[in-house]
Amino acid sequence: MPTSRAPRSESEGAFAPSASLDVLRARARLLRRIRAFFDSRGVLEVETPALSRRAVTDVHLESFFTRFTGPGEADGGALFLVTSPELAMKRLLAAGSGPIFQISRAFRNGERGRLHNPEFTMLEWYRPGFDAAALQDEVEALLADVAGAGPCARRSYASLFEETLELDPHRATLETIAHAVRGLAVDAPPPGGVLEGLQVLFTHAIEPTLGAVDPVIVFDYPAGQAALARLRPGDPPIAERFEVYWRGIELANGFHELGDAVEQARRFERDRQERRRLGLPVPAADERFLAALAAGLPDCSGVALGVDRLLMLCVGARSIDEVLAFPLERA
């Protein structure tokens, strides 16, 4: 199904879509089924801006920049294309929206490859009153409904490392992790820190093996990989975060959402300090989002899912270009 029809002429090839019309029809069906799934559960569809006055502080993401010139801002105002609708959607939650979902365009500079296009489609939803386990159940139900997936296996982050590498990721030293990285048959530089090394190990030794038939949900990540997730106290503390993998592809990333404005401000500042150390742009923290947390974010869990990757899995595509009408080179 994913293979595009060959153009009849060179001129036709210059404008033709990368995806076949059959795949584009499959995309439309998938979007209809996603909307029907949430409508049947009383989850409100919302829209938030693609342009934001604040860039993301996450060290691993780079925002696209543009400038508005017009009434009230003759000298120009900086704007950024959002890497995710997350912060704006949480402002709606703090305003009392109740459960919400959005199918949106997201933009990430510097990302291009078999599974990446700088502009892509993201499904994101939030469930007040759900913990991470309850939201995992709903992710499983969605994948069964829209993609025919079977039951999802649940595996803790630690169990995968212990089984595959005989290593406790929550307590291992940098020396132990660096030794494990050297044991991989991959071209990877020595890790500069524990979290960097764990990511190399997970990406190369664990991720490709996940979800060969049905999806796998990986949960309980190290505290240093919490991002916007809550931490569960303990020794060591654990991030209430989960990710979904299917046929070796990272499909979704979910959190029991952090609602503490003071802690969130600290995490933003840590990101900013790390960006400064790495010589990256250092954006200001999103003060409107922090104000929403201070006003009161309901206890909730949320998850972001890559729609293009899900479509790839549904139609058997090997590259994201096979499911996009016009990827970067044809845009």
Using only C-alpha atoms, what is the Rg of the chain? 21
Does the pTM of the predicted model rise above 0.75?
yes
Residue 198 to residue 192: CA distance in whole angstroms: 11
| Residue-range domains of the chain with CATH | 10-152+214-330 (3.30.930.10)
Report yes or no: 293 and 259 within 8 Å, Cβ to Cβ: yes
Say whether 252 sits in a helix, a strand or coil: strand
Q: Tens digit of pLDDT for each residue in 57-80?
A: 999 999 999 999 888 766 678 999
Cα(first)–Cα(last) distance of the chain, in Å?
Answer: 22
Angle, helices 194-201/157-165, rounded to nearest 10 degrees: 70
> Omega before 236 cis (within 30°)?
yes
Q: Tens digit of pLDDT for each residue in 227-286?
A: 899 999 999 999 999 999 999 999 999 999 999 999 999 999 999 999 999 999 999 999
pLDDT for 303 beyond 80: yes
Predicted local confidence at residue 2, as pLDDT: 56
Report yes or no: 63 and 107 within 8 Å, Cβ to Cβ: yes
Predicted local confidence at residue 186, as pLDDT: 83
Q: Tens digit of pLDDT for each residue in 90-102?
A: 999 999 999 999 9
Report the range of poorest mean pLDDT among 21-25, 135-139, 179-183.
Answer: 179-183
Predicted local confidence at residue 189, as pLDDT: 81
Average pLDDT over residues 14-26: 95
Average pLDDT, the chain: 94
Q: Tens digit of pLDDT for each residue in 127-178?
A: 999 999 999 999 999 999 999 999 999 999 999 999 999 999 999 999 999 9
Residues 6+ apart with CB under 8 A from 68: 51, 76, 77, 79
